[in-house]
Structure 1
Amino acid sequence: MAGKEEKETMVSKGFVMLLLGVLIIMVRISNDNIAVVEAAPQGAQVTSLPGFSGKFASSHYAGYVTVNEEHGRSLYYYFVTSQNDPVSDPLVLWLNGGPGCSSFDGFVYEHGPFNFIPGKGSKDMPTLVRNPYTWAKVANMLYVDSPAGVGYSYSNNSDDYSTGDISTASDSHAFLLKWFKDYPEFLSNPLYISGESYAGVYVPTLTQEIVKGIESGIKPALNLKGYMVGNGVTDTEFDGNALVPFVYGMGLISIDLYKDTILTCKGNYWNATDSDCISKLDAIDQDVQNLNIYDILEPCYHSSTTTEAEKSKKVLPKSFRKLGKTDRPLPVRRRMFGRAWPLRSPVKDGLVPNWYKLSDEQSVPCLDTHVADVWLNNASVRQALHALPEKTIGRWLICTDQITYNHDAGSMIPIHRSLTGKGYRAIIYSGDHDLCVPFTGSEAWTRSLGYKVIDRWRPWLAGGGQVAGYTTSYDNNLTFATVKGSGHTVPEYKPEEALALFQRWIAKTPL
Structure 2
Amino acid sequence: MDAPTFLLLVAAALLCSLAAAAPEEHLVAGLPGFHSAFPSKHYSGYVTVDEAIEKSLFYYLMLSERDPASDPMVVWLNGGPGCSSFDGFVYENGPFNFEPGSTPGGLPKLQVNPYRWSKVSNMIYLDSPAGVGMSYSLNKPEYKTSDLKIAADAHKFLLKWFELYPEFQSNPFYLSGESYAGVYISLQSLMKLSKGYLIGNPATDVDYDYNSFVPFAHGTGLISTDMYEDVRAACHGTFWGTVDDLCQEKVDRVRWELKDLNLYNILAPCYHHPKIQETVFRHSSLPESFRRLGETERAIPVRKGIAGRSWPLRAALRNGRVPMWTGIGGRSLNCTSDELATIWLDDEDVRAAIHAKSKSLIGSWEFYTARLDYSYDTGTMISSYHKKFTTLGYRVLIYNGDHDLCVPFPGTEAWIKSIGYRVVDRWRPCGLEIYMHICLREIYTEGYDHNLTFLTIKGAGHAVPEYKPKEALAFYSRWMAGEMF
Say whether the fold is shared (TM-score over 0.5).
yes
Q: CA deviation at 1:464?
A: 3.8
Aligned to 1:492: 466
C-alpha displacement of 1:118: 5.6
The answer to whether structure 1 residue 436 and structure 2 residue 406 are counterparts is: yes
CA distance in 1, matches of 2:153, 2:308: 29
Alignment of 1:262-301 (within 5 A): 262-301=232-271
Equivalent in the alignment of 2:421: 451
> Aligned partner of 2:380: which letter?
S
Is 1:209 the equivalent of 2:180? no
Aligned length: 465
2:143 is aligned with 1:161: yes
Aligned Cα root-mean-square deviation (Å)? 3.0
Alignment map for 1:46-195 (pairs within 5 Å): 46-117=28-99, 121-195=103-177
Cα distance between partner residues in 2 of 1:264 and 1:298 = 31
Letter in 2 for 1:87: A
Distance 1:42 1:197, change over 3 A: same
Distance in 1 of aligned mates of 2:151 and 2:481: 27
Distance 1:308 1:424 in 2: 43
Q: Is the 8 A contact 2:75 2:123 kept in 1?
A: yes
Question: Which of the numbers 198, 209, 227 marks the counterpart of 1:239?
Answer: 209
Q: Secondary structure at the match of 1:419?
A: helix
Query: In structure 2, do the counterparts of structure 1 residues 350 and 75 end up closer, same or farther at CA, with 3 Å as the change threshold?
Result: same
1:386 is aligned to: 355
Matching residue of 1:404: 373
User: 1:276, CA displacement in angstroms?
Assistant: 2.2
**What is the CA–CA distance in structure 1 between the aligned matches of 2:347 and 2:333, rounded to whole Å?**
20
CA distance in 2, matches of 1:204, 1:354: 26
Asked if residue 366 in structure 1 is aligned to residue 368 in structure 2, the reply is no
Residue equivalent to 2:394: 424
**Residue 334 (structure 2) pairs with residue 377 (structure 1):** no
Q: Is the 8 A contact 1:270 1:345 kept in 2?
A: no
| Secondary structure, aligned partner of 2:137 | coil
Shift in Å, 1:141: 0.3
Indicate the SS of the match to 1:285.
helix
Indicate the larger mover: 72-81 or 467-476: 467-476
Tell whether 2:182 aligns with 1:200. yes
How far apart are residue 337 of structure 1 and its match?
A: 7.2
Structure 1 regions of 5+ residues with no counterpart?
1-20, 30-34, 215-221
What is the alpha-carbon distance in structure 2 between the residues aligned to residue 293 and residue 359 of structure 1? 10
1:505 alignment partner AA: W
Cα 1:412–1:435 change in 2 (3 A) is same
Distance 1:348 1:434, change over 3 A: farther
Contact 1:338 1:365 in 2 (8 A): no
Q: Is the 8 A contact 1:333 1:368 kept in 2?
A: no
For the Cα contact (< 8 Å) 2:312–2:327, is it kept in 1?
no
Q: Which residue of 2 aligns with 1:10?
A: none
Tell me: CA distance 1:184–1:113, structure 2 relative to 1, closer, same or farther (3 Å): same
| 1:71/1:155 contact within 8 Å kept | yes
Aligned residues of 1:95 and 1:202 also touching (Cα < 8 A): no
Task: Tell me what 2:6 maps to.
Answer: none
Tell me the amino acid that sits aligned with residue 54 of structure 1: S
Runs of 4+ in 1 over 6 A off after TM superposition: 21-25, 307-311, 346-349, 356-361
Partner residue, 1:255: 225
Output the CA distance in 1 between the equivalents of 2:134 and 2:257. 39
Give the distance between the partners of 1:236 and 1:482, measured in 2 at CA: 20
Q: Distance in 1 between matches of 2:447 and 2:311?
A: 33
- Return the TM-score normalized by structure 1: 0.84
* Equivalent position SS for 1:351: coil
1:100 and 1:480 map into 2 onto residues whose CA distance is 26
The one of 271, 292, 303 equivalent to 1:332 is 303
- Return 5+ residue gaps in structure 2 as ranges: 1-8
Change in Cα spacing, 1:84 to 1:338, as seen in structure 2 (3 Å) is closer
1:351 to partner: Cα distance: 2.8
Contact 1:472 1:479 in 2 (8 A): yes
Amino acid corresponding to residue 377 of structure 1 in structure 2: D
Contact 2:294 2:460 survives alignment (8 Å): no
Offset, 1:308: 12
Counterpart of 1:417 in 2: which secondary structure?
A: helix
Shift of 1:340: 8.8
Cα 1:418–1:23 shift into 2, 3 Å: farther
| Fraction of identical pairs, as percent | 48
Which letter does structure 2 place at the counterpart of 1:391?
Answer: S
Name which of 3, 8, 15 aligns with 1:28.
15
Partner secondary structure for residue 427 of structure 1: strand
Q: Secondary structure of 2:366's partner?
A: coil
Work out the CA distance in 2 between the residues paired with 1:358 and 1:246. Answer: 14
Q: CA deviation at 1:282?
A: 2.9
Q: Post-superposition shift, 1:172?
A: 0.1
Cα deviation, residue 497, structure 1: 0.4
Q: 1:407 to 1:476 in 2, by over 3 A?
A: same
In the superposition, relative to structure 1, how do residues 354 and 407 fare at CA in structure 2: closer, same or farther (>3 Å)?
farther
| Equivalent position amino acid for 1:334 in 2 | G
Structure of higher CA gyration radius: 1
- For residues 475 and 309 of structure 1, do their structure 2 counterparts lie closer, same or farther at Cα, with a shift above 3 Å needed? closer
Report what 1:475 is aligned to: 449
Secondary structure, aligned partner of 1:257: helix
CA distance in 2, matches of 1:92, 1:289: 36
